A and B are shown apart, each in its own frame.
Chain A
Amino acid sequence: MELVEAIILAVLAASTPLLIAATGELVTERSGVLNLGVEGMMIVGAACGFAGAWLTGSILVGALLGIVAGTLMSLVFALMALGLAVNQVATGLALTILGIGLSGLIGAGFVGERITPAVHLHIPGLTDIPVIGRVLFGEDGFVYFSVALIVGVWWFLYRTRAGLILRACGDNHVSAHALGYPVLRIRTFAVMFGGACAGLAGAYLPLAYTPFFIPGMTAGRGWIALALVVFSSWRPGRLVVGAYLFGAVTILQLHAQGWGVGIPSQFMSALPYLATVIVLVLLSRARTGGSTAPAALGTVFVPDR
């Protein structure tokens, strides 16, 4: 039973950064903007988050700094893709290339340093319940926040007027504009939300997942988050399922390596990436009847006055 508990805990920890980053990107894409720079925003969030926590000794300051860094990065994207109507795919790639360089620069002084990772909740009695105790009542703050975040996003998108307007921008920006909604301003906020989430997701890695910073530590998680949004058909509920399934694959391959299954470790490490490809193919295939993507996703919009 101890092993089951350990595996569930590990899966939750591995899934959380994916869930947070993908939640942000889901909102961005629902507004009609494809920001491929998630990986870049995450890695800068990781570097700034670690720097903040190391300098102040506070995980909270680190997390906030990660959010600020991610938001600033996304503003660069918004300026380019929304302000200057530049191709969103190319801008997103540029953001990732820039982010990888910036994080190396920011994080260079912190490689090899350690911090005390985020504390885990402990409620005497509840946390000690076998198997589910630590899973439900013994996580770090990020895990609880990620769940609250996705529930909040679901409520916002489907139960508020603002959410409806945001989805309208994503499906038909010309109509939304004709109805008098400030499409570009709404999209800018959506992009900033995506950036903030990516920054936080990045900061989670050195603040809670591993208590140190290594360059390139996001290791493609930003790209996997992007794939998860496709996997979810742009729906928050399925996003949760996808993120935890994905975390499970990651943990499974780690454990399989530990059990000494006679397969070279590199093949096991490649599993999450191969799984992404296979899932994308299967899902896209199942969906030949019609795309569920926001109709205006990735298209340039220049309001005519």
Chain B
Amino acid sequence: MQLVLEKRAERSNTIALVSPLIAIGLTIVTMTILFAILGKNPLLALHAYFIAPLTDGYSLQEIAVKATPLVMIAIGLSLCYLANAWNIGAEGQFLIGAVAGSWIAVKTQGTDAGAWVLPAMLVLAAAAGALYALIPAICKVKFGASEILTSLMLVYVADLFLDYLVRGPWRDPHGFNFPTTAEFDPVATVPLLIEGGRLHLGSIIALLVVAAAAILLGRTIKGFEIRVVGAAPRAARFGGFNANQLIILTFAVSGALAGLAGIIEVAGPVGHLQPGISPGYGFTAIIVAFLGRLNPLGILIAGLFLALTFIGGEQAQIAMKIPLDVTKVFQGILLFYVLACDSLILYRFKLVFPSRQVTRGAG
């Protein structure tokens, strides 16, 4: 008796709908076991992770703040992944966007620059993120170099470049030698939505991005091309779609969105440029993209859920001394279950009883 995988005649829509929920359920079961191994009360830990952040207004705002970069980056990545272009360097594009936007903020510091500063920062950050993402895309299209490896290598380069700037030319002279720029001027800061709160304009921009992506994928020829190139490359060639052009386009768009997310994070919740502005948003966004099934609305929900785990992880660390790395383990396990459950949309398990009759027809 053997358990084997068998291709379904057509994709199962039921499983497609429930698979993210099954994945989350399985992850929670696994986490319960992990908490027990760590010697923590699993029920209290799960409460700290998933319920506590939902019970007060501050944490709710904080979830939206954390979800903002995740959703923006993941929307861009989903376009790449749909077109079968593997951009995994969004973290680097995020950092380069943050650096480029900060350049304006640093250079206009203390001057009477007007309201043009913030819009200029956003535009420059998006452009820089797009250009940075174009490096692996062009290397792929022109030379055939693996975009997976080149885009990832550029993350380390971006990280070191940012480190150099805030320790060298851009360091705040009154910052007690800490590696950070001075606090940005009010004109270079993303405005808050609620006075004294945490929610900022970036969350609105993220929602607009979600809406734009939904229209692009659902209502335009370009969106159709992206989906066909990824799902059926041969059909796309017959249809005359240019796969290389789409790699360039999706990389540029995802780089722009990551760069925009970067400057919004720096000019919003952080307020200045410093190392460690991202707790791995660029990588977590990969999970968000898959958990949201590469669908804009799904990504919005998935982004909020992953943001919840970030906040829950912080609260669990404070309240129960659960290490922050548990959050990363949680995210990794979740991605595994999501991918595994997604496999069941296309395949199903079948019990096989090996016998002469069966093997004769093999091959």
User: Which A residues lie at the B interface, using CB under 8 A?
Assistant: 36, 76, 80, 83-87, 89-91, 93-95, 97-102, 104-105, 108, 177-178, 215, 219-220, 223, 226-227, 230, 264, 266-267, 269-270, 273-274, 276-277, 280-285, 287-288, 291, 302-305
Closest Cβ of chain B to A41, distance in Å, is 13
* Cβ A230 vs Cβ B325 within 8 A: no
Q: A3 to B303: give the CA distance in the assembly, Å.
A: 53
* Cβ B163 vs Cβ A273 within 8 A: no
The secondary-structure label for the interface of chain B is helix
Whether, in the assembled complex, B160 has its beta carbon less than 8 Å from a beta carbon of chain A, the answer is yes
* Cβ A284 vs Cβ B143 within 8 A: yes
Q: List 23 A-B contacts (CB under 8 A).
A: A80-B339, A84-B5, A89-B86, A91-B339, A94-B335, A94-B336, A105-B325, A108-B325, A220-B156, A223-B153, A267-B160, A273-B156, A277-B135, A277-B154, A280-B149, A281-B150, A283-B145, A284-B143, A285-B144, A302-B6, A303-B4, A305-B4, A305-B352
Within 8 Å by CB of A86, from B160, B161, B323, B339, lies B339
In the complex, what residues of A have CB within 8 A of residue B362's CB?
A: 305
Within 8 Å by CB of B339, from A90, A267, A282, lies A90
Q: A89 to B86: give the CA distance in the assembly, Å.
A: 8
Q: A87 to B286: give the CA distance in the assembly, Å.
A: 14
Q: A218 to B307: give the CA distance in the assembly, Å.
A: 27
* Cβ B329 vs Cβ A101 within 8 A: yes
* Cβ A277 vs Cβ B153 within 8 A: yes
Q: A178 to B362: give the CA distance in the assembly, Å.
A: 9
Whether, in the assembled complex, B239 has its beta carbon less than 8 Å from a beta carbon of chain A, the answer is no
Whether, in the assembled complex, B331 has its beta carbon less than 8 Å from a beta carbon of chain A, the answer is yes
* Cβ B340 vs Cβ A273 within 8 A: no
In the complex, what residues of A have CB within 8 A of residue B297's CB?
A: none
* Cβ A101 vs Cβ B347 within 8 A: no
Enumerate B36-55 residues with CB–CB distance to A below 8 Å.
none
Enumerate B317-363 residues with CB–CB distance to A below 8 Å.
323-333, 335-336, 339-340, 342-343, 346-347, 352, 358, 361-363
* Cβ B340 vs Cβ A84 within 8 A: yes
Nearest CB in chain A to that of B157: its residue: A270
Whether, in the assembled complex, B7 has its beta carbon less than 8 Å from a beta carbon of chain A, the answer is yes
Q: A287 to B144: give the CA distance in the assembly, Å.
A: 9
Closest Cβ of chain A to B194, distance in Å, is 33
* Cβ B143 vs Cβ A281 within 8 A: yes
Q: A94-B332, A273-B156, A305-B4 are in contact. Are A36 and B342 (CB under 8 A)?
A: no
Within 8 Å by CB of B331, from A101, A177, A223, A303, lies A101
Q: A264-B168, A284-B144 are in contact. Are A104 and B336 (CB under 8 A)?
A: no
In the complex, what residues of B have CB within 8 A of residue A281's CB?
A: 139, 143, 145, 150
In the complex, what residues of A have CB within 8 A of residue B135's CB?
A: 277
In the complex, what residues of A have CB within 8 A of residue B152's CB?
A: 220, 223
